[in-house]
Structure 1
Amino acid sequence: MQTLTQIKQLLAAHGLRPKHRLGQNFLHDHNQMRKILAAAELSPGDRVLEVGPGTGTLSEALLEAGAHLVAVELDTDLEPILRERLAPFGDRAHLVVGDILASKRQLNPDVIDALQASSPKPQAPNPKPQASSFKLIANLPYNIASPLLINLAADHPAMTLAVVMVQREVADRLLAKPGGKQYGPLTVMVQAMCEVQRVSVLPPGCFWPPPKVDSSVIRLRRRATPMTDDPPRLADLLHRVFGQRRKQLGSVLGRSTALPPGIAGTDRPETLSVEQLIELARSL
């Protein structure tokens, strides 16, 4: 794994420094990286999507564990560093230079193509096609964490596991229970599709430059049976009711709207469980 000194040297050799506008905070704590790798439960041949690889510190560790990696980096200035660092791993390493998201609700098509192209080739004498599943393992830039996780959880069932570094506030929202201010659309959409677990909490000193907030590593494991079979319908309801979260459901949906048993027009959306919100979406 790259040390902090090596990360700084790589950037300096290309005349670069971390870019605050891109949320570049480089993880250099090797103990925390080992926790990420352990939580990812990697097996040789696993397909992995990494977003924001930076200088390739985590990328190299993933590839050394036998992964077939698609790394997506927005910063074109980092491309030469990543090309050089990933080259020794041959066709197991794919680099996409661009935004992971084509829009708030859609992955970049180039990323989808790269994931498909990164499938391990079957080996004789057992040439069975490989599964199309992949894992998201990344130190996510804070500004894209929420839309990316919602998108992958709701629309990409091939993502079976995610182990991601996010701002602690985002982690708290992912783990939130009904009734708190952290509970909202992100909570409900992700919990409906995945089991959520906090792996660790990281102080700012684990990064360079240190951010002004704590971070958390979160693991999302896709449910064998999702709690909803219609994520778009649930997303539309959440946008509608949480857009006016302080209002009672009757005021948002109309007093004449028939509600499922156990849900009253005087309820507010943040008081309803994930199951109740799914049932409400199904009933409308």
Structure 2
Amino acid sequence: MLRKLTIMLGIIAAVAAAIAPNVLHLAHPYRLYDGVVPAHTIAVAAPTVTELPDFSRYQQTDEKKQAFFSFLGPLVAAENAVIEEQRAGLHALYTKWQLNPDSLSNEQVSWLEYLAKRYRVEFSFTSETEAEQGFALLKRRVDVIPETLVLVQAANESAWGTSRFAQQALNLFGQWCFREGCGLVPGARGAEATHEVQKFDSVNASVRSYLRNLNTHPAYYEMRQLRAEQREQNQTIRALDLTPGLLSYSERGEAYVEELNAMIRVNRPIIMDAMDDDKPVAEPGFTPSSDSAPE
């Protein structure tokens, strides 16, 4: 029900933007995601979670899986809902800009600049060509990751929430940082290596950082291309469609992707019990070419 509500609100926002492109459905969109506007203005919200359950107490594998997915699923859905809200705002402004390139307000331009900075995109209105390229690149990056893929990677990287990095650093995705003291030092780190496993203040922040990583890092360009192709064909974005773009996530490469694929197939029924998965992605009127702005 939670997931269906998110989708319905997203559809309503997109339709409203198409009908009345001069009206943005967020009063202060560039502040919303910095926590200035109360969380209830977001379509789906979740509490901030600062401690993981003890998943090791589950003796039965299926019980552990169900507990893990039921715990993490709503947090992933909430973070994806924020991205959906951002994408709806981007859709509205792109529609408005197409009708009249000079029609965007200072606030709306500021929000686009905020969004571009967050998603590491160079965005400029110097010319219509540069603006079109900026919108196209933002379109590829400001997008959700299927919950099944997020949950399976979290399970894989965190040993179902039982690893030291998960329990002590709330790091469910094996994300690194490179500033001394930013996380936990891996026991097997080489003498010349400087990375640490990043420590997060909340599970929510771990999920948020992972989504941003997949949506911005050059290593996952292929994944974003695969997702964009599905979007342009009005196809459903599924976890198995995107795993070929994750070869660089692990030094194991193909073997890692094959392991993820196997986990997706085996665990999909359990995940489906925890939450709805893989939504339709048709977005009429918002299809700047994915070839117009190479990353």
TM superposition score normalised by structure 1: 0.23
TM-score by length of 2: 0.22
Which has the larger helix fraction?
2
Greater share of strand residues, 1 or 2?
1
* Bigger relative contact order, structure 1 or 2 (CA pairs below 8 A, ≥6 apart): 2
